[in-house]
Every structure is written in C-alpha cells, then in structure tokens.
Structure 1
Amino acid sequence: MFLCCWLALVAVIPVTLSTNPGVKVKLTAKGLEYGRQLGMASIQKKLKTIKVPDISGTQEVSHIGKVQYSLTNMQIVEVGLPKSALDLVPGTGVRLSIGNAFIRLHGNWRVKYLRIIKDSGSFDLSVNDLTITTSLAITSDETGHPAVSTVNCAATVGSASIKFHGGASWLYNLFKNFIDKAIRNALQKQICPLVADAVSDLNPQLKTLNVVAKVDQFAEIEYSMVSSPTVSTSSIESGLKGEFYNIGKHQEPPFSPTAFSLPPQTNNMLYIGLSAFTANSAAFVYNKAGVLSLYITDDMIPQGSPIRLNTRTFGAFIPQIAKRFPGLMMKLLVKTVENPVITFEPNNATVQATCTVTAYAIQPNATLSPLFVLNLEASVSAKLFVSGMRLAGAVTLNKMDLTLRTSYVGEFQVRVLDNVFQMVLKVVVIPQLNVELAKGYPLPTLGEMKLVNTQLQVLKDYMLIGTDVQFSG
C-alpha cells in the first residue's frame, strides 16, 4: 500500500456547503515517511515488470565491414531504489523524487559479419543514475471515493554500461555506445507509465475508505470533506464533515460546528480531532430515533438490593401508593425529553441529560397504572478511549436532580426518592448505557488499517487522537 492510502484520509469526497468541519485529520511528516517506505516497495515491484524489446540492427565496423547484431531475451534481474524523498509542496500537493536508482538486466546477443561468420553469447547491463520525479493528484470518483493519479512525471537514465560474455564479444566494444543509447531509450519510455500504473493500482484500495460509515441500525456517520486539504511544509490537514445521521434520513441538527484548531504536534503519524459537534450530532440522531429510553423492571435490580421495584418499597416513601396499589410490581420508564448535551473541556468530557421518569404499577392483567412522572436532570462524566478502529466510552454519574412533573397519587416530597433513583441510575441505567457506548463508533479508516501507539486527549471543544498507523494485506 502506498502513500495515497494516507492521503485518502485527507481528500475524501467533493467539498460540501458546510463551513466548519466536525472532524479534522492531520498527516504529519512522520506519517509521510511511513508512506514513502510503503511506496518504494510498490514502485520497485512495478519497475521489475519492465519489458525491454529485442534490439537489432546493422553497424559499420572498420576493417570488418557491416555487422548485423541482435540483443534478445532481456530480463530485469534487479531494481534498486536506494534514495527517495517525499516532499510536501505548500498549497500544491505531494512530490515524490527517486534518485541514484539502478536497474540490472541480463540478455543474449548474436552477430553476423563477413557474410558467413556468426557468433553469440550473453550480456549484463547496468543502468545507473536513474532519477524519477512525479507529482500526485487526489480527486474523487463518481461514487464519492478518493481517486489518485500522477499529474506529471519525468524519468532520466544517467548512464548505462554493458558487459558481454562469450564469443567475439570484443566486437561489441566497437559500437556499445549505440546499443547503450537504444536500451536507455527503451527503458526511459516505460518508467513513467509504470509509475503511473503503480499509483492507479491503489484506486481499488481507496474505495475501501468509509466515506459513510454505518454505526448501528439507527445511525451512520459521514466523513465528507468540507474544505480543500491544507498543505504545509510539515503536514497535510483536512476538515471532514464528521456528522451523524439517521440511516436513510439526513436531517441537519439545530446547531452547527464551531471552529477549532489542531495543536502543532508531530510525534505521531496521524492526528484526528473530533469536535463536540460530532458527539452532539450523535445525541441528536439517537434522541430523534427514539432510542434514548429504557424500561426498568424489578428483575434488572441486583438481587441483593433492599430496594425493589414494587409498591411496597415505594409505599414506604409515598404511603398512598401502598394504599391504592397494594402488592403490585412496578415498572419505570426513563426517557430523554431533550437532546443530551456533550461538552469537552481539558481532561473532562461531560454529558448533560434532561429526562422524565414515569413510574407505573403493573396490574394483575398486565395493564400499567401511572403513579407519577418526575423530571430528571443528570450529569455524567465520560471516559473516552480508542478500541480497535472505533471510538468508545464509558460514563459515571456526577449528580442528578429530581423534581415532580405530574402525580397521580397526590402530593409527595420528591427528595425522599433521591437515594432510590441514584441506585436505579447507577446499577441499571448507566451500565446499560455503557454496554452501548463500549461498542463505539467507527473512525475514518482505510482497508487493513490498524492504529498503534494511540493516545487520546480531551481538549477545549474537541478530543484529539494521536496515533501511528500500520497497513497490512
């Protein structure tokens, strides 16, 4: 896999109308160096496929006359690319330079002179001081995936030397300069097309980029570009939309991303900044899908807990419940009534949720009798981490506040239920939420890409993932 596998992460699909990105991706010089190493292996493999056509002709040799010659069965036996560099051209793109390269060939020779004398043997050819310079362009194809191509390419062969084995090889010393030139020209014509082929061969791999990544049955996240990549002398940075949508229905949330800037860090190959907008768009999507709700029954409460979801337990706090609904089990419905709000501050990610809690008594015929409805304001702290190629999390309760919204059993003091609902949140709601958060959501990825040496920081209004990358396959 080549450098373009990296560049796909910063040149995804055509620019959209949004102003600020929800996600930023920065490829550093360290990442480019890794891409260069991968790229050299790809180009070296391609250059080994050079086909040198047979060469034949007639040459006038003093004292002998016309000599008919042919060079056949020429095969590449070695390609060396000892020196290469990958340079970022600010405001332009990427330039790949290869210098001091060499190609070794082996083939057969044959001559005929003085009309009747024939001779043959083998030869070895060394092509040295080979230089290749090419610029790369990244666009998008009709499916919205990145496509890479060469903008321009120049290849020169500085020198070639040929050594003949067997027969009257001395003859070739008389006209080897002519043969050297013919072979150099034959090689030079093929190098740039083969480099272009090596780059084009990457396009099927680039189609693996998750431009739209499915999260689960409810949501997907879009990683489309909102601005052209910014190329500096040390990095390539691009802004991606980074927005969650309901599957099959792309509705914009009632808020927009705010601008943020990645810090000038270069220790890792790749940096991914995910803004609070991205997290809040997820909250908007799941709330709109109606999945931020949970029915709680007594079998979800730990067996050892003295607090049970029945009218006897709640009757101890609200006597009229035990009087009107004696001996019945209960059910709670916790449901968000507004979009949860996620905020990022240095080393702290917080979620504020506004919910209702509706308590029901379960009648013998399974019908539900409403008892009361509470307003629940809860604040949780989130620990975020990278798991594989996904961003995951876990939350813990900071505080909660209960107020009475509606009562069907008369007036009562809500604060007497604080401990009950603290327990319900801690042992039922939050563990259930953490199961879902542990599944995570996909980061922008490409093919067999793995993140290594990954660190995550929560900063003002965004989180920063710094990572090295490995490609396999």
Structure 2
Amino acid sequence: MYKMRLLALLLVTVTHTHANYPALQAVLSQNGLRKVSHWMTDWLQSKLSTIKLPDVRGDVDIKIGTIHYLLYDMSVQRCDLPEPSVAFSEGTGVALQVDGLSIAINGLWKTHFGLIHDSGWFSLAVYNVNLSAVLELDNNDGCLSILTPVCSADVGYVQANFHGGGSFFFQPFVEMFSSKITDKIREKICPAFKKGIEDVDGHLAAMSDAINMDPYVFMNISLTDSPIVMDSALRLNITGEFYSKNFSSEPPFSPSPFQLPWQNKYMLSVGMSEFCINSASYAYLKSGVLKILIKDDMIPKTFPLHLNTSQFGFLIPQLPKLYPNLTMQTLLYASETPLFSFTETAANFHLLSAAKFTAIKSDAEVPLFRLDMDCSFSAKAYIDKQLLKGFLVMKNLTVTLGSSDIGDFSITPIKNTLTLALTKVVLPKVNAQLKDGLPLPFVKGFILRNSVMNIENGFVTIGTDIDLLH
C-alpha cells in the first residue's frame, strides 16, 4: 500500500486554478523511475502469488479426434520476476521492457474426448515471458492519465504435467496442449496488462483533487498542463495553491513563472514558489487561525514583565493610575497576509500584526489600547543530515499606536522593550533550535535521504532520494 501511495504521490496531483503558472513543480529523474520500478517489482512479486488466474479452455486435434480441455482454479506457486527495464520516452511517457519472466502454476483440468470425460490436477511452468509496452502520460482535467498505446508479448515455452484421472492417456499429447496453452497465455498477457493499467488510471481519476493539510486549509494539486516527458526525466507542473475550507477565495496576488533546476542524481526534485507559501498564509489568515490570546498565566514566572497594569506603569505611566493592579490579556493577530520572499541568499518574511490589550475587571474586559506592528525577518536555511537548519535575524520592527482608550502615550519605551525581548530572548531561542535542526516533513512509510535545499530568486528547491521504511 505504501508503495502504491508513493507511486501516486510521484505521479499524481489535483482542481481550482488561479492562473496557468504552476506554484509547484516536481521532477522524477531516471534514477527515481528506476527506484519506483524496483519497488513495484517487489510489490508485484509478493502479489502474484495471491492472484487467481482466469480459466483457459480450448481444443486439440489429435488426428483421431478432438480433445476439449478446461484448465481452471489456477494459482501462481512461484514467480521469478526480473526487474523491468524502464526509461522515459521523450514526449510520450515511459517505455517498459520485461524479459525472462517465469511462472510456476498449479491448477485443475477437465477434458472430454468423445464419450470419455476425465479430470485431475496439473502443474504448469511458463518460461521466458517477455513484455514490451509504452505507457502514455497525459493530463485529464487536472489529473494524471495513463494509457497503453503499445503492447507486445511473447512466451518462450510451456512445460505441463497432468496428474490424476486418465492423465497417462493425455500426457503423450502434452506438446500439443503446450502449444495451445502457450498461444492462449500469449493472447492474454497484453489485455491483462492493459486492464491493470486501466485500473490504475481509474484509481488516479477517482482520487481527490485536493490534499487536506489540517482542519483549516486544503491544497489544490491539480496539473496545470500535460506532463512534460524528457529523455531522462518527467516534470509535473502543479497548481500548488492553498485555500481556506471556510472562506475559499483567491489571494490578492498571482503566481509567477519559474523553472525548477534539477539533477539526475536525486530521485525527486521539488520546487515551491513564493506564491505557494503565501497562498497558505492567506488561507490561514482567512481561516481565522493567525491569532492568539495571550494571558498572564502563559508567561513564565521568571519573566521580568507580566500582564499587569501596575507593572506596565514604567511603559505607560497613566495606566496604573486609571486601572491599578489589574490583570491584562493581549489578543495578538496578523492584520494582513504574512508574506514570504526568496532571493539567492536568503528567505525573507514580512508580517503586519496588531496587539489588542484589555484589562480584566470584575470578569469584564476593559479595552485599553491597540498596537500596530510592522516587522520583517531574514533567514538563512539549509538541510544538513536530514535536518532543516538555519539562522534568523530581525531586519526591522516598527510599532505605532493604532488606537487608545486611555489617552496618548509614547510608544518608544514599548518598542525598545519589544526589540530587547525579540533580540535577547526570542530569537536566541529560535536560533538555538535552528542550529540543532528541525526534522523534515515525511510521507508515512517512507524516509528522505541525501536531501539538499537551495533558495533561488522567487522559489525554493529540494532535491532528495526516498527509501521505504521497514
């Protein structure tokens, strides 16, 4: 199941379009294709032993008459499945070649020859099955489509042994049976293979066109155009836009074109534009989750300043005179969409926010004042030993008095206090954590290896290999 999920993850994606420019791009390299093929071979090897084969019926002319036969209740006892040769077929899809597949099958047989009816069991060995096919990849209303325009198959030879009943009578004619059975198997290989591809295509078409990220937002991952098949890679251009589940509107900005650089040594390369991340910020803003109510009991007791009107006296002299020794609380929220931008040297973050301060008096809230804040940060980020590491610095902090119910007061002491708290307390803790590193996101059942991250103008890229978790 995990392998099928990864195959879908690498090949499929999702409807809702803001523009034709993709905000996400993914490139599966030839190395990635080979690895997926290896996983699929292991998966098929394990599944083949559980497959019930369709009945085979026919007749053989033995010169003195015709033997009618039925082979049924067949199951695979052993399968030697060599790893397929797979390669991208430029402009089309994937070329698949399987050589030397061998299968051992047990089943039951029935025959009738004139008035003679007989039955028993048999063992059948099918040697050197070869399959050649081309999988054509296309875009079907934003979902990946897979077709099989080319398929050919051949069977080397079949060795059959009949047991039970009067099989000793029919065993001399096994070569005739084998030739007929070989033809029947050859006829069924490509239709069975195409049916399997049709099932995969139907599964892809039935998949949801969005990924639920959490209770608040979902991500549209529909294809913006047809898959781009190169001679050594497959590129998928993906919408990559986030939406609020409660307020599904377009953000006031649009995606810009970008070209994902990739290297064949990595299985998978992913590029994420500023628009992708900023649409997530907009979706969370519209979902109403970019806010927090800060109460005094949330502040460590050792912290020098607490949410109390008397303690705020050195910042706002009139506050303790108007409301002495009252507990305060602060509603901190983003007033506009937090925006990210990328340059070749850093990731930048710009946040416009506000903080509404109220005092608690007889279980009622008394409005005090609102601060408007404009702050920006810059970060260096990289991946080291599968951990996201970096360093964050504050570039700017502007604080203004948005409104006041207690009269005018100077903002300078508050700005100085906030700057001191951010630079001496908050940022050092954040940077200590970034120095140790944060774990990368993962897909259940898989682990990332050899990952690297690069920040480019307008987008960020990740190149990675992927392994199964055992």
CA contact (8 A) 2:68 2:111 kept: yes
Q: Deviations over 1:223-267 (max 9, x none)?
A: 111121111111111111111111144211111111222222123
Q: Greater shift after overlay, 184-193 or 400-409?
A: 400-409
1:457 aligns with 2:460: no
Q: Greater shift after overlay, 216-225 or 191-200?
A: 191-200
Aligned to 2:434: none
Aligned to 2:245: 247
Aligned to 2:132: 133
Q: Secondary structure at the match of 2:364?
A: coil
Aligned-CA RMSD value: 4.6
Aligned to 1:18: 19
Structure 1 residues 381, 208: closer, same or farther in 2, change over 3 A? farther
Aligned to 1:403: 400
Aligned to 2:433: none
Aligned to 2:85: 85
Distance in 1, Cα, partners of 2:5 & 2:138: 11
CA contact (8 A) 1:24 1:273 kept: yes
1:468 aligns with 2:465: yes
Q: Greater shift after overlay, 120-129 or 453-462?
A: 120-129
Normalised to the residue count of structure 2, the TM-score between the two structures is: 0.77
Match of 1:36, as an amino acid? S
Residues 79-158 of structure 1: pairs in structure 2 closer than 5 A: 79-82=79-82, 84-104=84-104, 127-138=126-137, 146=144, 148-158=146-156
Normalised to the residue count of structure 1, the TM-score between the two structures is: 0.77
Distance in 1, Cα, partners of 2:5 & 2:411: 60
Match of 2:182, as an amino acid? R
1:269 positional shift: 1.9
Aligned to 1:377: 374
CA contact (8 A) 1:25 1:239 kept: yes
Aligned to 1:53: 56
1:342 positional shift: 0.8
Distance in 2, Cα, partners of 1:210 & 1:395: 37
Distance in 2, Cα, partners of 1:110 & 1:287: 70
Structure 1 residues 71, 367: closer, same or farther in 2, change over 3 A? closer
1:315 positional shift: 1.4
1:396 positional shift: 7.1
Q: Secondary structure at the match of 2:310?
A: helix
Q: Secondary structure at the match of 1:18?
A: coil
1:183 positional shift: 2.1
1:217 aligns with 2:218: no
1:357 positional shift: 2.8
Larger Rg: 1
Match of 2:448, as an amino acid? V
1:152 positional shift: 3.4
Q: Greater shift after overlay, 341-350 or 157-166?
A: 157-166
Distance in 2, Cα, partners of 1:377 & 1:16: 31
Give the alignment partner of residue 196 of structure 1, picking from 176, 194, 197.
194
Q: Deviations over 1:383-427 (max 9, x none)?
A: 8799xxxx9999775542223344444443322123433466687
Q: Greater shift after overlay, 309-318 or 218-227?
A: 309-318
CA contact (8 A) 1:312 1:326 kept: yes
Structure 1 residues 17, 228: closer, same or farther in 2, change over 3 A? farther
CA contact (8 A) 1:300 1:428 kept: no
Structure 1 residues 430, 311: closer, same or farther in 2, change over 3 A? farther
Distance in 1, Cα, partners of 2:321 & 2:311: 12
Distance in 1, Cα, partners of 2:253 & 2:68: 75
Q: Deviations over 1:449-471 (max 9, x none)?
A: 52321635241222223333356
Aligned to 1:435: none
Q: Greater shift after overlay, 271-280 or 208-217?
A: 208-217
Q: Secondary structure at the match of 1:367?
A: strand
Sequence identity of aligned pairs in percent?
Answer: 28
Distance in 2, Cα, partners of 1:314 & 1:203: 65
Structure 1 residues 393, 16: closer, same or farther in 2, change over 3 A? farther
Distance in 2, Cα, partners of 1:332 & 1:15: 37
Residues 322-401 of structure 1: pairs in structure 2 closer than 5 A: 322-346=320-344, 348-364=346-362, 366-370=364-368, 372-381=369-378, 399-401=396-398
Distance in 1, Cα, partners of 2:263 & 2:279: 27
Distance in 1, Cα, partners of 2:205 & 2:439: 23
Distance in 1, Cα, partners of 2:363 & 2:48: 75
